[in-house]
Amino acid sequence: MADQEATWGVVIVAAGRGTRMGTVESKQYLLLRDKPILVHTLQTFEAMSEIAAMCLVVGPQDVERCEALVSDYGLHKVKSVTAGGSERQHSVQQGLRALDGVADWVMVHDGVRPFVTHKAVRACMAKAMETGAAVLAVPVKDTIKQVNDNGIITATPERRSLWAIQTPQAFRRSLLVQGLEKAAADRFVGTDDAMAVERLGVAVSVAEGDYTNIKITTPDDLPYAEFLLATRERERGTDV
């Protein structure tokens, strides 16, 4: 019953510089068809009735332009546009503060993962409400090796236990806040949100997602992103 009435907030992190993409314009603002990648992402969450509020976290220099994007695209659930920090984890913390008192449950999502589906987001939310914490992920397809600085293989972890972790990552808000506070106190910086909660000794569940929920990271992701967008539009029958 309580689960049905849960209020969800979403932190969309988009304060990165996109170093690996190597473009002058940060990758979250590159156009995919006619819209910035970040707007595609925000619209996916805006359309979900379960979501009450979003906080968009961007570079300090981009706050004004993003407020304009939020207004131009009618993104009414974006209640604040906040300046992020030097690491993704610091940006998440800024976003969570902005959602204080707004939602008991939160998701963190990368602004550069525009292809997440409503079905996958709902699977992640449902799993989190069962367990307190859940992330979307897919089983890895390749054999993964650990390699040392001399280029020599040192270990081959069993593939059956390896998953590639995506976003959204969904948590009871108090749990994520506690995890991030401990991480800050310990000067620990993780590459995803689950790590902060794992460090509390709390189990984080995995909800199986889709291989198409890519994080646009390097230039070779762009043609694939165009292809995915065209495929989605064809499926929706809105191709022009």
Ligand X SMILES: C[C@](O)(CO)[C@H](O)COP(=O)(O)O
Using CB under 6 A, list all residues that contact ligand CTP.
13-20, 28, 57, 84-88, 91, 110-112, 215, 217
The token pair at 41 is 């992402």
Task: Report residue 85 as tokens.
Answer: 């920090």
Stretch 189-208 residues interacting with ligand X (CB under 6 A): 191-192
* Residue closest to 160 by CA, chosen among 136, 139, 146: 139
CB-nearer residue toward ligand X: 18 or 36: 18
- Choose the one of ligand X, ligand CTP, none that binds residue 18, judging by a C-beta under 5 to 8 angstroms depending on kind: ligand CTP
Residue whose Cβ sits closest to ligand X = 192
Which residue among 26, 80, 94, 166 contacts ligand X (CB under 6 A)? 166
Q: Residue 67 class from Cβ within 10 Å (0-12 exposed, 13-18 middle, 19+ buried)? A: middle
Which is nearer to ligand X, 140 or 165 (by Cβ)?
Answer: 165
Shortest distance in whole angstroms from residue 76 CB to ligand X = 26
Query: Quick one: which of 90, 215, 222, 228 contacts ligand X (CB under 6 A)?
Result: 215
Residue among 88 and 172 whose Cβ is closer to ligand CTP: 88
H/E run at residue 207: strand 205-208
Residue 117 one-letter amino acid: T
Supply 158's token pair.
């069993």
CA-to-CA distance for 80 and 57, rounded, in angstroms?
Answer: 8
| Distance in angstroms (rounded) separating the CA atoms of residues 102 and 94 | 14
Confirm or reject binding of residue 46 to ligand X (CB under 6 A): no
38: left (phi over 0), alpha (psi -120 to 50) or beta: alpha
The one segment of 4-12, 96-104, 161-169, 220-228 that binds ligand X by CB under 6 A: 161-169
Which residues in this chain contact ligand X in the complex, by CB under 6 A? 88, 110, 165-167, 191-192, 215
